[in-house]
């Protein structure tokens, strides 16, 4: 694909390696919906794009919710009678139940077992479990190790604090030519999990960096928020801005080997739904389209009925459809630089449509204008590309009757948007098309 406004900025391989490098740096940090792990993560992302960091105090209302106490953890372990660590947070931050209350006491094996989570079907993986709203303490471990725990007493310690503090999120706004906005959101609340949260953060951060250099027509707002409570908090404090949102995407799970999957907005026929579907269809790769349903990531909040924003979700394999989901196997081996890169390149294609979609009027609509004498039969690369381009010229001329946008023409012709856009640009140059209004 050829990107007229982004074209020269991106180098696919370098971007893939840069995104993977960012994931490697963020991977060890213990994140949660609040706390220093989130702050550290946002501060690293700020090296790429200057994020505005927002802190909202514990106890403040956010729609039907309340900002929780802030959770911070320094250590957690379980000691057997010999004093050996049978579970150690320092080996993996998934070992502790996320948001576990502090604890420091002796327990029997029976009591310990009530607070340990495992996955019997995947005996070597540590599950990721949270308890944000029910006060509980707990640990997660490999089932194979759990089965080897001997009868007797254990000492459990979670060295954590759960105190009034704040919820932290990051926001980055790129001012375009118009106030009309594109909203991009990703979640930042998972600890050492790569595809689930870190891939979305990495793709969003580098996408934002590229868009900053591209002087876009639309304004772009990037949100790096803890899942659910973060988007709810942002929505509750920014209702005055929602009217400007023309398109939106939640980004998550973009680094695995699966095909791209687009989940439609609640509206189902919003422009973003048509745009992403068209970009997927004309890409020649397998893909999936999922109708909206009220579960998943933060599209649930953006598409709640009181907002009903035109926000869809892009991922590769959806949550719950790969066994590594929410386990220690969603690690640095599970995400691939080339897949991150392909996700980013695809999104640039989506933004190319958002930025480039217009309506034109054919100024010579009676009979076909003679293209040869205007030098429009150019030779570009292979046969099929030339043929597509020629067809694109004819489609654009034929459908530019004032009703159809370039996206409509791409959909009807089955030709990729970049080819349609290139043809339209050429027709404008020779005076055969006039721009009507902005899409
Ligand atoms: Zn998750």
Query: What is the domain range of residue 200?
Result: 12-67+167-356
Are 242 and 334 members of one domain? yes
The mean pLDDT of the chain is 94
Is 420:406 a contact under the CB 8 Å cutoff?
yes
Please return the burial class of 170, using the count of CB atoms within 10 Å of its CB with bins 0-12, 13-18 and 19+: buried
Are 119 and 231 members of one domain? no
Are 187 and 232 members of one domain? yes
Q: How far is the CA of 257 from the centre of ligand 1 (A)?
A: 18
Are 41 and 109 members of one domain? no
Q: pLDDT at residue 393 above 80?
A: yes
Q: How far apart are CA 61 and CA 140, in angstroms?
A: 31
Q: Which of 356, 373, 397 is the last residue of a domain?
A: 356
**Would you say the C-alpha torsion 129, 132, 134, 138 has a positive or negative sign?**
positive
- The pLDDT of residue 51 is 98
| CATH number of residue 388's parent domain | 1.10.10.10
| CATH number of residue 204's parent domain | 3.40.630.10
Q: How far is the CA of 27 from the centre of ligand 1 (A)?
A: 14
- The pLDDT of residue 372 is 85
| CATH number of residue 134's parent domain | 3.50.30.90
Q: Which of 323, 340, 356 is the last residue of a domain?
A: 356
Q: pLDDT at residue 253 above 60?
A: yes
Q: How far is the CA of 135 from the centre of ligand 1 (A)?
A: 20
Is 332:24 a contact under the CB 8 Å cutoff?
yes
Q: How far is the CA of 253 from the centre of ligand 1 (A)?
A: 9
> Is 2 inside a domain boundary?
no
Q: How far is the CA of 339 from the centre of ligand 1 (A)?
A: 19
- What are the CA-CA distances from residue 171 to residues 46, 184, 229, 239 (Å)? 10, 10, 15, 15
Are 322 and 374 members of one domain? no
Q: pLDDT at residue 100 above 60?
A: yes
pTM over 0.85: yes
Provide the percentage of residues in the chain whose pLDDT is more than 70: 95
Q: How far is the CA of 326 from the centre of ligand 1 (A)?
A: 6
Residues making up the chain, counted from first to last: 439
Q: Which tens digits make up the pLDDT trace of 34-56? A: 999 999 999 999 999 999 999 99
Are 154 and 188 members of one domain? no
Give me the mean pLDDT over the 86-111 stretch: 98
Are 195 and 252 members of one domain? yes
Is 86:117 a contact under the CB 8 Å cutoff?
no
Q: Which tens digits make up the pLDDT trace of 136-183? A: 999 999 999 999 999 999 999 999 999 999 999 999 999 999 999 999
> Is 7 inside a domain boundary?
no
Q: How far is the CA of 164 from the centre of ligand 1 (A)?
A: 25
Q: How far is the CA of 116 from the centre of ligand 1 (A)?
A: 19
Are 315 and 208 members of one domain? yes
> Is 197 inside a domain boundary?
yes
Q: Which tens digits make up the pLDDT trace of 235-252? A: 999 999 999 999 999 999
* Element (DSSP H or E) covering residue 231: helix 229-237
Domain total in the chain = 3
**CA–centroid distance for 43 within its chain:** 19
Q: How far is the CA of 234 from the centre of ligand 1 (A)?
A: 19
Are 155 and 218 members of one domain? no
- The pLDDT of residue 284 is 80
Q: How far apart are CA 252 and CA 234, in angstroms?
A: 18
Q: What are phi and psi of 161, to 5 degrees?
A: -125, 145
Q: Which tens digits make up the pLDDT trace of 121-140? A: 999 999 999 999 999 999 99
> Is 35 inside a domain boundary?
yes
> Is 145 inside a domain boundary?
yes
- The pLDDT of residue 386 is 84
Q: pLDDT at residue 8 above 60?
A: no
Q: pLDDT at residue 314 above 50?
A: yes
DSSP code of residue 46: T
Q: How far is the CA of 190 from the centre of ligand 1 (A)?
A: 7
- The pLDDT of residue 283 is 87
Are 149 and 242 members of one domain? no
Are 206 and 331 members of one domain? yes
- The pLDDT of residue 432 is 97
In which band, very low, low, confident or very high, does the pLDDT at 438 lie, cut at 50, 70 and 90? Answer: low
> Is 245 inside a domain boundary?
yes
Provide the percentage of residues in the chain whose pLDDT is more than 90: 91
| 143-149: Cβ within 8 A, 24+ apart | 143/118, 143/119, 145/86, 146/116, 146/118, 147/123, 149/80, 149/86, 149/109, 149/112, 149/113
- The pLDDT of residue 11 is 59
- What are the CA-CA distances from residue 42 to residues 37, 58, 194, 329 (Å)? 9, 19, 16, 24
Structure tokens at 390: 């020629």
**Residue-wise DSSP of 243-285:** GGEEEEEEE---SSSSPEEEEPPTTSSSHHHHHHHHHHHTTTS
Q: How far is the CA of 273 from the centre of ligand 1 (A)?
A: 24
Q: Which of 163, 196, 226 is the last residue of a domain?
A: 163
Are 125 and 156 members of one domain? yes
Structure tokens at 426: 């050429």
Go through 401-429 and write b for each residue having 16 or more CB atoms within 10 A of its CB, e for each that does not: eeebbbbbbbbebebbbbbbbbbbebbbe
Q: Which tens digits make up the pLDDT trace of 192-233? A: 999 999 999 999 999 999 999 988 999 999 999 999 999 999
> Is 378 inside a domain boundary?
yes
DSSP code of residue 170: E
Give me the mean pLDDT over the 266-288 stretch: 95
Q: How far is the CA of 313 from the centre of ligand 1 (A)?
A: 14
> Is 4 inside a domain boundary?
no
Give me the mean pLDDT over the 286-300 stretch: 98
């Amino acid at each position: 694909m050829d990107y007229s406004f982004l074209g020269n900025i991106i180098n696919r391989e370098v971007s893939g390696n840069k995104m993977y490098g960012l994931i490697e740096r963020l991977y060890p940090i213990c994140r949660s919906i609040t706390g220093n792990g989130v702050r550290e993560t946002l501060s690293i992302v700020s090296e790429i794009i200057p994020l505005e960091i927002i802190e909202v105090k514990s106890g403040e209302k956010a729609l039907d919710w309340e900002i929780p106490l802030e959770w911070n953890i320094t250590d957690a372990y379980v000691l057997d009678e010999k004093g050996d660590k049978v579970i150690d947070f320092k080996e993996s931050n998934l070992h502790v139940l996320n948001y576990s209350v502090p604890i420091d006491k002796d327990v029997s094996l029976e009591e310990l077992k009530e607070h340990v989570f495992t996955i019997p079907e995947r005996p070597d993986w540590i599950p990721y479990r949270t308890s944000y709203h029910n006060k509980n303490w707990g640990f997660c471990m490999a089932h194979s190790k759990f089965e080897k725990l001997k009868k007797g007493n254990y000492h459990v310690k979670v060295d954590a604090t759960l105190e009034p503090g704040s919820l932290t999120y990051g926001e980055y706004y790129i001012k375009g030519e118009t106030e009309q906005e594109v909203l991009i959101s990703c979640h930042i609340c998972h600890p050492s999990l790569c595809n689930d949260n870190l891939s979305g953060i990495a793709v969003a951060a580098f996408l934002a960096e590229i868009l900053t250099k591209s002087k876009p027509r639309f304004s772009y707002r990037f949100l790096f928020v803890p899942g659910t409570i973060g988007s709810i908090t942002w929505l509750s404090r920014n209702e005055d801005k929602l009217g400007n949102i023309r398109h939106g995407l939640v980004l998550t799970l973009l680094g695995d080997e699966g095909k791209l999957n687009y989940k439609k907005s609640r509206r189902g026929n919003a422009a973003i739904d048509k745009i992403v579907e068209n970009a997927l269809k004309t890409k020649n790769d397998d893909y999936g389209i999922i109708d909206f349903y009220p579960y998943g990531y933060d599209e649930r909040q953006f598409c709640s009925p009181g907002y009903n924003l035109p926000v869809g979700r892009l991922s590769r394999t959806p949550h719950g459809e790969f066994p590594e989901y929410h386990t220690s196997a969603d690690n640095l081996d599970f995400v691939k630089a080339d897949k991150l890169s392909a996700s980013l390149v695809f999104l640039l294609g989506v933004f190319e449509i958002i930025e480039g979609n217009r309506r034109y009027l054919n100024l010579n609509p009676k009979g076909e204008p003679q293209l040869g004498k205007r030098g429009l039969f150019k030779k570009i690369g292979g046969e099929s590309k030339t043929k597509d381009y020629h067809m694109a010229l004819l489609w654009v001329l034929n459908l530019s009757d004032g009703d159809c946008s370039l996206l409509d023409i791409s959909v009807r012709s089955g030709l990729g948007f970049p080819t349609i856009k290139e043809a339209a640009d050429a027709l404008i140059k020779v005076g055969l098309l006039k721009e009507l209004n902005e899409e």
